[in-house]
Amino acid sequence: MEFVTREDKDKLARLLIELHALDRVLTERIAEARGHGDLRENSDYHAAREDKSMNNLRIRELEVRIATVQVIQKDELPKDMVFLGAIVRIKDEATGKVETYRIVSSLAESDADCPSSHREVTSTSPIGESLMKARVGETVRVNLPRGERRLTVVEIIA
């Protein structure tokens, strides 16, 4: 299950509206290209059909995503639990290294120009998924491409 803020879910809904509007435009493009003659050698027709197909796929994926996301209310969350938007200090049990992460939605726009003291990880990434709902002092296991890591939540900063 993917956790999102109300703003993120509204973004998804706006994107779905845009994709439905694009679908109508692509339908008109197909109709117009069909009028140009022989469909076997009509590249405009085939390109429009392919674009419509891709757009329909994105619409279906987005509809499923909207139906399955869980909207969180920040004021209802326990203060001692890692959740979306939390800035958390963790310790890698193997190396002893302490790092600070911020858990963000997969829809969050990264602020690359803004230097910060923490790394951003999405709530759907392996580290983000493992840290979600963890409490201070709890150790979580993260399966990464380079192998398993064990991370202990040292502090929830915000």
Residue 35 phi, psi (nearest 5) = -75, -10
* pLDDT greater than 70 at residue 92: yes
Q: 144 by DSSP, 3-state: which?
A: strand
Domains of the chain and CATH, by start: 3-71 (1.10.287.180), 75-156 (3.10.50.30)
% of the chain at pLDDT higher than 70: 94
Looking at the chain, which runs of residues are DSSP E strands? 3-4, 70-71, 87-92, 98-104, 119-122, 139-144, 147-156
Asked whether the CA dihedral 52, 58, 62, 65 is positive or negative, the reply is positive
* pLDDT greater than 90 at residue 13: yes
Q: What is the pLDDT of residue 109?
A: 57
Average pLDDT over residues 12-21: 95
Angular region, 85: left φ>0, alpha ψ -120 to 50, beta rest: left
Q: What is the pLDDT of residue 69?
A: 87
Q: What distance in Å separates the CA atoms of residue 32 and residue 23, rounded to the nearest whole number?
A: 14
Q: What is the pLDDT of residue 143?
A: 92
Q: What is the pLDDT of residue 140?
A: 95
Q: What is the pLDDT of residue 79?
A: 77
Using CA atoms, how far residue 105 sits from 28, 109, 123, 137, in Å, is: 35, 9, 6, 24
Round the average pLDDT of the chain to a whole number and report it. Answer: 87
pLDDT (tens digit per residue) in 101-139: 998 887 765 554 444 678 899 888 999 999 988 999 999
